[in-house]
Amino acid sequence: MCDAVRVLMLSWEYPPLVVGGLGRHVEALARELSASGHDVCVVTRGQSAARVDEVRDGVRIVRAAIDPLAIDFTTESLLSWSQAAEHAMLRAALPLVRRWRPDVVHAHDWLVAQTAITLTELTKAPLVATLHATEAGRHQGWLPRPLNGAIHSVERWLAQRADEVITCSGTMRDEAAALFDLAPDRLTVIPNAIDAARWQASAPDTTATRDRHAGTGPLLVFAGRLAHEKGVQTLLAAVGRLRAAQPGLRLVVAGTGPHAETLRAQARALRIARRVDWLGFVPEERLPSVLGAADIVVVPSLYEPFGIVALEAVVAGAPLVVSETGGLRDLATGGVATAAFPAGDAGALATAIEKLLADPLAAQRAVARAARIVGRDYSWPAVAARTVEIYERAAGRSVR
């Protein structure tokens, strides 16, 4: 493989079509690889009836045409939807690889597994797979329904077929090795990264946000999907425990998701409804000021392969409390988080919050230390350089 690598990335989401954090991760990695002199093409889903081939920020992006199929992205039809999406992506990629042969195919998660494996066999390029999460992990080790088992089987197929597998944390590495029977030398931990400049809110914006939401304070902030595995129910329970000791305490919840109404009902049952501001979806350009306004940002997930919002909070200048699960455990032991608690333990979370609020100077010193660590270890240039090393290793391992 030459110094400049031709990289074919496959992702089921890519900005402006964004569902979660995966799409933004792929975009940032592709941009950094291109800026480093590599030839990067991303094949992804589109939003129109025509195939789109464009260049943005040095990255060639091929967006598949939407097929006229009445299949919704729901639990009941997810496998049918994914099959249709993969078929469209594969058809979009075939004209590309007839003229432009990649040195490596890089697949991001199970929703592009069939496309990635087919293109790998066609081009004879090595396959690198990044596993951003696992279906078993999302369900605390269980596969409760046939759909979950089917998704797990696709993840296993992709992981075993790949020449190299990337995970974002040590916990995810161990999880993938056990779930998919992978040899340790095929798994590499490369953390997610952050563009620190984009997450540093201006002082006026942060002050205005705090004035809007904090009242007499202190102010806690959660940002993320309102789903069971994100653990917002644990945070609400902790706020309920702190109601008497912290009469001015307020909580901002930024995000949407399937558990929104359940969580609102929980807040009412705990008699803390007036203490919680439900912001719904917050655009990325506004989120730094929300995070920066917090006395503490809490990431209370029950399952979290990495937890990019934790890095965003640190760069925004907020003390950080995380649950001891998944990639958050790495951030806690590595000095990024200010404090940690056992996942799901509302009492321990309440205690951690009280300790931080009692010593704000120590909390701010911890934030400054964490910001230095993030700048050193979680930058996109560092992550892109390590990813290229994996591409080189995959080329040496591949026997196709």
- Residue 2 pLDDT greater than 70, yes or no: no
Q: Could you give the percent of the chain with pLDDT greater than 90?
A: 83
Average pLDDT (287-313) is: 94
User: Would the pLDDT of 397 be above 70?
Assistant: no
Q: Is the pLDDT of residue 20 over 80?
A: no
Distances (CA, A) of 213 to 170, 206, 249, 302, 376: 36, 11, 11, 26, 33
- What is the pLDDT, as a whole number, of residue 1? 47
Apex CA 113: angle with CA 111 and CA 119, to 5°?
A: 130
b/e 170-187 (16+ beta carbons within 10 angstroms → b): bbbbebbbebbebeeebb
pLDDT reported for residue 373: 93
pLDDT band at 142 (very low <50, low <70, confident <90, very high): confident
Q: What is the pLDDT of residue 343?
A: 96
Residues whose CB falls within 8 Å of the CB of residue 96, separated by 6 or more in sequence, listed in order:
8, 41, 43, 53, 62
Average pLDDT over every residue of 97-106: 96
Task: Say yes or no to pLDDT of 305 above 90.
Answer: no
CA angle 4, 9, 14 (to 5 degrees): 125
pLDDT in tens, 242-263: 999 999 999 999 999 999 999 9
Total Cβ atoms within 10 A of residue 378: 22
* pLDDT band, residue 75 (cuts 50/70/90): confident
pTM value is 0.84
184 pLDDT above the threshold of 50:
yes
